[in-house]
Structure 1
Amino acid sequence: MGRQTRAKATRKKILDAAVDLFSQRGYSSTGLGDIIDRARITKGALYYHFDSKESLATAIIEDATDRVIGAFDGVASSASPALETMIHGSFVVLSMTAHDDLARAGRQLAQALGQFSEAGATVYYRHWTTAVTTQARKAGDEGDLRPDVDPDVVAQTIIAVLLGVTQLSAALATGANDMLTRLTWAWEMLLPGIASEESLDYFQQYLSRASVRFGQPVAPPD
């Protein structure tokens, strides 16, 4: 195994160990020594790749962002209407957050680092803002948004919904299906306020199909 290949393998071991520990214990309760022990590497090997716990967490956020935004961009690359892309993409992203360890850790760390450093959190939120804003503006150009709504405000609202749904479901520990159900409820509330009159029925029907595809929603609580 060449030096470059070994370095890549070591970096992956460090990141995998950090993802596991940050997910299990949280950012504040995990030390670099814990990561060294879990990865079974030397202190020098860790510091060769990362000079601090924050830089390690930021690398995880960047990798997670690339994975999640890549999935969203895959949805956006279709010929579907942009508002449909935002609905479909939101389900894809939340499903990944629930089932993909890296995606979940990236989201958790973006929130955790926001309390200590803007750098890591900015990476996560900036990319999200760009991706969703692009689609919201496209939806406006396609005539699927109400003429009295600002596409940039629509994008910010959708991002806030995604973050809020994941945060609430994590806090209540109610699981992935519940998270996707809450997302369905949020879109049911949002669509009448943002979709054009001519497009509303189509996107409401699309939402119904998407919610079934990603997990049968339950009725709202009484």
Structure 2
Amino acid sequence: MTQQARAVETRAAIIRAAADVFGDLGYGGASMADICLAAGLTKGALYFHFASKDALALAVIDAQHERALALGDELLHSEQPGLQVLLRMAFELGRQVRDDPVSRAGIRLTMESSNLSTPVVTPYEDWMAACEVLLQRAIRDGDVRADVDVAAAAHFISPAFTGVQVVSGVLTGRADLVQRLVEMWSFVLPSLVVPDQWERLSALPEEMAAAWG
């Protein structure tokens, strides 16, 4: 293995170890010493790759955002109807947060980003933009009402998802996250769906839970 390849591998291992620590303790509770211990590295080796806890936290957020972007890019370019894709994205993101330590830590750090030197807004903006695109597609599909304010809906759905996963994390360690997402969408969908299509689309949350839970 070349020196460059080893450096890349070490950096990735540090991010994984940091995600475990940040995910358990949050930004304020974690220390570089904790992360050194989790990564099995000396402080010198850790600081060679990351100059500060702030830089390491931002790297974890970036890694989580890359995972979400990869998912979003795949789904946005699929040929499925917009409403199905929107729900599928929400449930798959929920699965990532529940099952993947880097995704879980990245989400927690994003919510704690007031502690960081750099404001973290891009993940929220990208998620809301994707919601708008998919809602507009769903209107063209004839599934969502043409009078829906897609920007307002996107600005509601994104924080609703954030709140649902946070409370699920606090109460059950996200063990019930899929069911909480089913409930969220069961309340949201009636405000979006064309009445004539409700019978066909009302089961979407349960179907997505079965497929992606």
TM over 0.5: yes
Kindly state the Cα deviation for residue 55 of structure 1 after the two structures are TM-superposed.
1.3
1:200 equivalent in alignment to 2:198: yes
Partner of 2:66: 66
Kindly state the Cα deviation for residue 101 of structure 1 after the two structures are TM-superposed.
1.1
CA distance in 1, matches of 2:117, 2:148: 30
Kindly state the Cα deviation for residue 5 of structure 1 after the two structures are TM-superposed.
1.0
1:88 equivalent in alignment to 2:88: yes
2:16 maps to a residue whose letter is D
Decide whether aligned partners of structure 1 residues 78 and 148 sit closer, same or farther in structure 2, where only a CA change above 3 A counts.
Answer: same
2:158 maps to a residue whose letter is I
Partner of 1:48: 48
- Give the alignment of 1:7-46 within 5 angstroms: 7-46=7-46
Decide whether aligned partners of structure 1 residues 133 and 50 sit closer, same or farther in structure 2, where only a CA change above 3 A counts.
Answer: farther
* Structure 2 unaligned residues grouped into runs of 5+: none
On the 8 A contact 2:189/2:202 being kept in 1, the answer is: yes
Decide whether aligned partners of structure 1 residues 172 and 55 sit closer, same or farther in structure 2, where only a CA change above 3 A counts.
Answer: same
- Give the alignment of 1:135-150 within 5 angstroms: 135-150=134-149
Aligned-residue CA RMSD (Å)? 2.0
On the 8 A contact 1:72/1:93 being kept in 2, the answer is: no
1:121 maps to a residue whose letter is V
Q: Percent identity?
A: 31
Range with greater deviation from structure 2 (95-104 or 30-39) = 30-39
Partner of 2:164: 165
SS in 1 for 2:162: helix
Q: Please, which of 173, 176, 183 is the counterpart of residue 181 of structure 2?
A: 183
Decide whether aligned partners of structure 1 residues 109 and 203 sit closer, same or farther in structure 2, where only a CA change above 3 A counts.
Answer: same
On the 8 A contact 1:83/1:144 being kept in 2, the answer is: yes
Matched pairs, number: 213
Kindly state the Cα deviation for residue 118 of structure 1 after the two structures are TM-superposed.
7.2
CA distance in 2, matches of 1:169, 1:88: 19
SS in 2 for 1:51: coil
CA distance in 2, matches of 1:82, 1:65: 22
Decide whether aligned partners of structure 1 residues 211 and 13 sit closer, same or farther in structure 2, where only a CA change above 3 A counts.
Answer: closer
CA distance in 2, matches of 1:43, 1:123: 31
Q: Please give the TM-score of this superposition, normalised by the length of structure 1.
A: 0.86
CA distance in 2, matches of 1:87, 1:206: 8
